[in-house]
Every structure is written in structure tokens, then in C-alpha cells.
Structure 1
């Protein structure tokens, strides 16, 4: 019988929809970073739109978060632990899913299998 394969699970979510996922080993709060929601041209878009991805990735500090999260996940996996990271922003449509996808890509580049779930990406825009 072969050993089970270790993997990373990355979950994006919005704090305004519900509590963070309880299965997360690490929760990162991205609400301190500039929210694309404030731009009327981006508000109805999601992380599936390149304009949102580009805007989030140009946000000062986001690249460092992505690098740090990916390295943390790689270390945990190397030590023999599955890891679940939950990235949250206000509505779960912009910052969190972009960061989740970027972390997933970076960890895949280390050679680890990754699952990505976007809990709130398809929920309506939160009016605030």
C-alpha cells in the first residue's frame, strides 16, 4: 500500500459572508490591502477578470504575502504535513481569490499538488 500524497488546500473567502473556514490551519486577512471594490469599474468583476488580477497584483505588499504563504506551505509539506490556508478579504471576489490562485501556482511550482476552492467568489457583491 502506498503512502497518501501530501497536498495544499487553499480556500478564498469573504469575511462579510461568513466566518473563516474552520478547517484552515492558517488564515490570512487581506482586508488591510486596497480593495478593488472601491473602483466602480472593477466592483462587479471578480478574480476571473484580468483587470482585477492585475490590480490586486500591483497592490503594495501583496507579492510579499504570496511569496511568504507559498514558502510556508512548502515548508509544512516538506515536514510531512498537509496544510490548508484560507485567504480572506471583505467580499471574497477580488483580493482573496487572486492571492489564493497565486499561492497555489507558486506551490505547484515547488512540485506539490494543490486544491483551490473559492467559497464566495460567485456570491453577489456586498453593498457597503
Structure 2
């Protein structure tokens, strides 16, 4: 079975990586960065994960993205599938989404490589 590669990133750090699917989380989902108590936390902190995963639409988008990955993998010449998901700074929404998608795909029996390009970069000043 081919590998699914998931990479989270922040649009404010660099261009999106090349991927089969690029998911832009900036416009439709509230940014935890706007909450001073969450701003300097990352997706590794439970309050950030809870905030992102409780945002309306996130679970539906994870499920839809997992279905899209499965569709790519079912193609006649299926190889590795790459998903890139981005938010503004790459510390909150994108890595939480990527972790949730990776968990969902692993539970479905797929091999997943997960990378967070910008998670450990400094908070972007806006």
C-alpha cells in the first residue's frame, strides 16, 4: 500500500509545499492565535487541540479529506499521495488538522508520514 504524506505549514512563512491536495484553513476556521492564552501554545498543547477540533466543520473536512485521499489511492496508477494543509502561522490549525487526518488514515490501515514544517517557528507577529 502506498504511503500518505501529510505536511502542515504556515502561509506566512513560505509558499505551500507541492501536494496532490492543498487545504487552506485560513479563511473558514477561527484562528487560536487571536486568543492571547493560546497564541504562544502549539498543536501539541491540549487547549489548542480542543479549540481547533471543536470548531464547526473541522471534523467534516478531515473526513472529506480522508475520502479524497482514499479516492486518489484507488486510482489505477496510485502511488504516494501528498496532502498539505496550511494556516497563517503553521502552529495551531494546520498541525492539529494534520494530526487528526493522520490518525483517521492510520485507523483505516494506511501508512502515514506526518511532518509539521512550521510548528516550531516563532509566533508570527500580525
Shorter chain as denominator, the TM-score bin is over 0.9
- Residue 27 (1) aligns with residue 27 (2): no
Could you list the runs of 4 or more consecutive aligned residues of structure 1 that deviate by over 2 angstroms after TM superposition? 78-81
- Residue 126 (1) aligns with residue 124 (2): yes
Offset, 1:81 = 3.2
Q: 1:49 aligns with which of 45, 49, 64?
A: 45
Aligned 1:91-110 pairs, distance under 5 A: 91-110=89-108
In the aligned structure 1, how far is the partner of 2:83 from the partner of 2:36?
Answer: 30
In the aligned structure 2, how far is the partner of 1:19 from the partner of 1:66?
Answer: 22
In the aligned structure 2, how far is the partner of 1:65 from the partner of 1:31?
Answer: 13
Q: 2:32 aligns with which of 9, 29, 36?
A: 36
10-19 or 62-71: bigger deviation: 62-71
Q: How many residues align?
A: 123
Identify the residue that residue 18 of structure 1 maps to in structure 2: 14
Alpha-carbon RMSD: 0.9
Aligned with 2:83: secondary structure? Answer: strand
Aligned with 2:66: secondary structure? Answer: helix
- Residue 60 (1) aligns with residue 82 (2): no
Identify the residue that residue 113 of structure 1 maps to in structure 2: 111
29-38 or 74-83: bigger deviation: 74-83
Question: What TM-score do the two structures reach when normalised by structure 2?
Answer: 0.94
Q: Deviations over 1:7-52 (max 9, x none)?
A: 1000000000000002x11100000210000000000000000100
Q: Deviations over 1:37-77 (max 9, x none)?
A: 00000000000001000000011111111111111112222
